[in-house]
Amino acid sequence: MLLSNNRVVSRPCVGMLLCLEDRATDLEVEEGSRVRLLCKTSSDLLDSSHLQVRWYHNGRELNMNVTHSNSIINNINNNKYSQKADKNRFTLVIRNAQLEDAGLYTCEGYYANGSVLRTTTSLAVKGRPGPPTSVEVRSCHGNRAELAWRAAPANGAKIREYSLEFNTSDAPDVWYPYYERIPGDRHEFFVDLAPYGTYTFRLLARNDIGDSQPSDVTRRSCTTPPDKPDRNPKQVVTRTHKKGYLVIEWTPMQRLNFHGPGFRYHVYWRRKGSLVWESALVTEATKGHFEQEVNDVYQCYEIQVKAENELGESHQPAFIILGRSGEAEPLVAPKDFRRDPSKPLEPHKAHFIWEAVEVTDKIQGEFRGYRLQYWKSSEGRHKMQEVDVTVTPDTVERHPVVRATLAGLPANTALRAQVAVRNTHYTGPPSQTIDFFTPEGTPSAVLSLATVEVEEDYVLLQWEPPVEPNGRLTGFDIGYQPVEGTQLGPVRDLKPKIDDPETLQAKITGLEPANNYRFVVWARTSSGRGKMAYVDVQTKRGTSKLM
């Protein structure tokens, strides 16, 4: 093969008995792909049992020969290529194809009778584009810069567009994307810039495969003149968590929006209905918080936050938003708090009822509902538990009586409870306190259930009392069920029951040797059995006796 003007020219088949040449086929892959190229051979040629195959890339022979001799096939590998043979089928595998692997691949199959078969494949490798080159600032006037560059290497796939990035002298390591994409056939572009900045630029190219690496940064920078800000802070809100203060917050603006030296925020506020604005300056540009002490509670205010610098306030008028000063503790307590007579008291649950409060300024904040508070009589208020009951003002108007349930209470326990009004941040004074006693419940599972002895026909069980008896223990119940493989038989109660709660072991007799059993133990109160605990046991095998 000869290489001429980057085209591959096949050598004539001189002195060969038969030369067959297959026309070139085209193959297109992405960079990093695994490529398989098939060398077409023929079993019709005489004496094909001894066949040699050679591969060429753009006329340069690849140092990879595979000899097919009778049934013996040798596969030769290197880091880039591997060549595999199966009978008269030969394949060249290119690992992790790169841009430089593109070109014409030719295989030549040499037969022992002097015949040769030649196959050519054109391989195109598409990759991410190279970075644009010679990126420069051609001109810089006012708030506009003109950029120019040379086209990026396409690397087998058409350049679709360019993306522009810029930085400022204040933070040269921070790159911002320009909002507009540039068509791939353009080589110059005008950029609109914010005032009061010194900018440099870089470009990235994009094709169907992906983005290029960034270009070199422009040597020339572009400095824009100062101006007043063109916008004001966003997300201006008030917070009501601090009693006696008007707390105003906003999202601090970025450096690109300062537009001039001496950037600051001008905060305005006035009580709704007033004609006089009060104001203050926040000179720390990264700050988004202002507090003003006031002598009212949860009152409505009109608020503005304007951006300004040494050249003046923002070109854009600031919106007036409504907010409120801080909340305080509600001044009203619920009345007629009592247990709900329509629902019985349960071991772990109690039901309550009280009159809904009127939603007035005595709430001293946004009405959120109520807070149920309870504690064990024996422990005192310092171990108080609280449960929030959410009620909306609309619900209060439709339902003048509030009902709520406390769940998860300890059984057989003397408890005390009360209820209070709550707003977003504070809880008001409590109602009268009521006392109640939860009835007995069923116990939790016994602890540490285990076998102390295991013999052929009996086991000795032992356990500890449950952590939560939920009443006065009256004893324990024991049952068992046979186990066959993974199947469990029915549970059978063992009698007599244990009626002494101090008895913490039992001997189970009459068992069969070498059998699997599951033994179950329940603690018991007057309300019934509690949760079960179980242990699986296999009895010992019987010993054979000599006659």
- Taking the chain (547 residues) in runs of 10, the rounded mean pLDDT of each run is 34 46 72 86 54 86 56 49 77 89 88 77 92 97 97 92 96 96 96 97 95 97 97 98 98 96 98 97 97 97 98 96 98 97 95 95 96 96 95 79 95 97 97 97 96 94 96 95 87 91 94 93 95 94 59
Among 529, 506, 530, residue whose Cα is nearest residue 519: 506
Domain ranges of the chain: 18-126, 133-224, 234-324, 335-438, 446-539
513 vs 539: CA distance, rounded Å: 5
Q: Do domains 133-224 and 234-324 have the same CATH topology?
A: yes
- The per-residue DSSP string of 4-50 comes to ETTEEEPPP-TT-S-EEEEEEEEEEEETT--EEEEEP--SSSTTTTE
CA angle 116, 120, 122 (to 5 degrees): 170
Dist. CA 262–CA 283, nearest whole Å: 8
How far out from the chain centre does Cα 26 lie? 44
Fold of the domain built from segment(s) 133-224: Immunoglobulin-like (2.60.40)
Identify the CA nearest to 477 among candidates 453, 495, 450: 495
pLDDT value at residue 49: 55
- Pairwise CA distance, residues 266 & 289, whole Å: 12
Q: Which residues of 277-315 are buried (b: 16+ CB within 10 A; e: fewer)?
A: eeeeebeebeebebeeebeebbbebbbbbbbbbeeeebe
Burial class of 335 by CB neighbour count within 10 A (0 to 12, 13 to 18, 19+): exposed
Q: Which two tokens stand for residue 146?
A: 């003109």
Contact 362, 330 (CB under 8 A): yes
Residues 6+ apart with CB under 8 A from 324: 238, 240, 298, 299, 300, 301
CATH superfamily, domain at 234-324: Immunoglobulins (2.60.40.10)
pLDDT at res. 67: 43
DSSP-derived secondary structure letter, 513: T
Burial class (CB in 10 A: 0-12, 13-18, 19+), 529: middle
Cβ neighbour number for residue 37 with a 10 Å cutoff? 21
What CATH code would you report for 446-539? 2.60.40.10
Pairing of strands 103-111, 89-94: unpaired
Closest CA to 287 of 324, 241, 229, 233: 233
**What does pTM read for this prediction?**
0.73
387, 368, 426, 372: which is closest to 240 by C-alpha? 426
The fold for domain 335-438 equals Immunoglobulin-like (2.60.40)
The CATH classification of domain 18-126, taken from the options 2.40.30.10, 3.90.45.10, 2.60.40.10, 2.60.200.20: 2.60.40.10
